[in-house]
């Protein structure tokens, strides 16, 4: 959520930012919210004036009672009784107007970084760099579905029967590989100084609304029928959500946390659940990381967090590339985002396996997360990043590490988490 002070002081900057994101239909919101804000400030002034008037009358009444002018005091008391009613009316108008202002502010995008490339969609995302070289194969390459089913370790028929499209059963060594990835990513993040947490998988609607983009809430988040609870789409939601309405001491910054969780997404929209496989599903496993820091430090942590994911996939031996996300493809809460994409030898192209975002103060403002620095209070900055989404990492490992006989080489860093096993083969 953007700072209303910025709209008051520099509305043209906010409008130019909206244009950079190719959301011209939102330009009218800036003038609309300015108008509402002026009305709200007038109401606050009126409320303060009424309170001041009430205090002055109270003082006058006390004085009159002391000098025994009771009849004069009673006249003032009669008039003073109307003031609390007037204050309540003004407060109610002010509250409703504040809600309308906040609803508009939710729709106005965060100010984006100067280096964000201009573009209307993901087609204008810019490749920053490649890390690792794709391997060469002397045999016909299979995709992860073909490999998993041939090994009898991926079962889509049973999951379709019991759950529907967008789910899967992992078996045997492939299920162990999933656990190995979770443990490897957890240990990596802990060594980097992150506190490990296990978080709730369901959050109240108030928190979900504040931590997510409005489009994500509509198209991605599952609601529990009959309850004010939603399944998390990522552990970021519950990690950041725990700080709602909290004041963090500047001495305790930065706050660096990581969590493994199951994640749940409806996947409604442009992508959907189109193909058989484990790349895009309704349920998956992910190791997430978040940072809460001082405003001047957020870009520094953005670079660090991005490099953690690069290190993780480089350790797995997976060729990757880094993409800077264009203005039109950037979520409204985000100041800046890079995606990490892994190489698919079957597709002969890259696909997303992780995303690192700097939200600056937009998310923290919604959640009212403040920093106290020797009595001075201000809004924190928040960042999040995918350490690893295990299903997508498994796709990369299976396809890049496949062998002619259909077996799969296990990356060296994962072997200790699989009891020393080096190759996944079809069991007799």
Three-state SS string over 56-91 comes to HHHHHHHHHHHCCCHHHHHHHHHHHCHHHHHHHHHH
The model's pLDDT over 18-76, given as tens digits with 9 standing for 90+, comes to 999 999 999 999 999 999 999 999 999 998 888 888 888 777 777 777 777 777 777 77
Per-residue pLDDT at 62: 79
Largest alpha-carbon pair distance within the chain?
107
Phi and psi at residue 147, in whole multiples of 5°? -65, -50
Per-residue pLDDT at 270: 55
Instruction: Name which of 328, 360, 357, 327 is nearest 340 in CA terms.
Output: 357
User: How far is 70 from 52, CA to CA, in rounded Å?
Assistant: 23
Phi and psi at residue 375, in whole multiples of 5°? 95, -20
Per-residue DSSP letters for 253-298? PPEEEEEEEEEE----SSS-S-SSSSSS-SEEEEEEEEEEE-GGGH
Per-residue pLDDT at 272: 60
Per-residue pLDDT at 238: 96
The model's pLDDT over 273-329, given as tens digits with 9 standing for 90+, comes to 667 899 999 999 999 999 999 999 999 999 999 999 999 999 999 999 999 999 999
Per-residue pLDDT at 77: 76
Residues in the chain, pLDDT under 50: none
Instruction: Name which of 10, 58, 1, 63 is nearest 34 in CA terms.
Output: 10
Per-residue pLDDT at 274: 65
Per-residue pLDDT at 132: 95
pTM: 0.89
Per-residue pLDDT at 55: 80
Per-residue pLDDT at 271: 61
Per-residue pLDDT at 99: 92
Instruction: Name which of 107, 93, 3 is nearest 45 in CA terms.
Output: 93
Domains of the chain, CATH where assigned: 4-107 (1.10.287.40), 122-424 (3.30.930.10)
């Amino acid at each position: 959520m953007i700072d209303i002070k910025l709209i008051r002081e520099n509305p043209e900057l906010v409008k130019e930012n909206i244009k950079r994101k190719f959301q011209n239909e939102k330009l009218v919101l800036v003038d609309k919210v300015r108008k509402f804000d002026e009305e709200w400030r007038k109401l606050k002034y009126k409320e303060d004036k009424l309170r001041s008037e009430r205090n002055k009358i109270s003082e006058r009444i006390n004085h009159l009672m002391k000098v025994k002018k009771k009849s004069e005091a009673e006249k003032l008391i009669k008039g003073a009784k109307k003031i609390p009613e007037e204050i309540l009316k003004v407060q109610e108008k002010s509250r409703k107007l504040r809600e309308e202002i906040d609803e508009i502010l939710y729709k106005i995008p965060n100010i984006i970084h100067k280096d964000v490339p201009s573009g209307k969609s993901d087609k204008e995302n810019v490749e920053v760099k490649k890390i690792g070289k794709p391997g060469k194969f002397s045999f016909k390459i299979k995709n992860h579905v073909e490999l998993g089913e041939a090994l009898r370790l991926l079962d889509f028929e049973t999951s379709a029967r019991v759950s529907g499209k967008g789910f899967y059963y992992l078996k045997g060594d492939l299920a162990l590989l999933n656990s190995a990835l979770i443990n490897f990513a957890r240990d990596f993040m802990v060594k980097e100084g992150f506190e490990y947490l296990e978080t709730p998988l369901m959050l109240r609607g108030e928190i979900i609304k504040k931590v997510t983009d409005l489009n994500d809430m509509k198209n991605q988040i599952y609601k529990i029928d009959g309850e004010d609870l939603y399944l998390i789409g990522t552990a970021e939601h519950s990690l950041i959500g725990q700080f709602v309405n909290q004041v963090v001491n500047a001495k305790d910054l930065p706050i660096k946390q990581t969590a493994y969780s199951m994640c749940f997404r409806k996947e409604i929209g442009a992508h959907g659940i189109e193909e058989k496989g484990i790349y895009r599903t309704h349920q998956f496993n992910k190791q997430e990381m978040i940072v809460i820091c001082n405003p001047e430090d957020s870009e520094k942590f953005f670079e660090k967090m991005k490099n953690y994911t690069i290190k993780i996939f480089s350790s797995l031996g997976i060729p990757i590339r880094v993409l800077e996300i264009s203005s039109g493809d950037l979520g409204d809460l985000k100041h800046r985002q890079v995606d990490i994409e892994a190489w698919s030898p079957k597709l002969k192209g890259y696909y997303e396996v992780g995303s690192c975002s700097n939200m600056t103060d937009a998310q923290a403002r919604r959640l009212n997360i403040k920093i106290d620095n020797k009595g001075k209070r201000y809004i924190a900055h928040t960042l999040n990043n995918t350490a690893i989404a295990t299903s997508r990492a498994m796709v990369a490992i299976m396809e890049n590490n496949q062998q002619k006989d259909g077996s799969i080489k296990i990356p060296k860093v994962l072997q200790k988490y699989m009891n020393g096993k080096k190759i996944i083969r079809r069991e007799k």
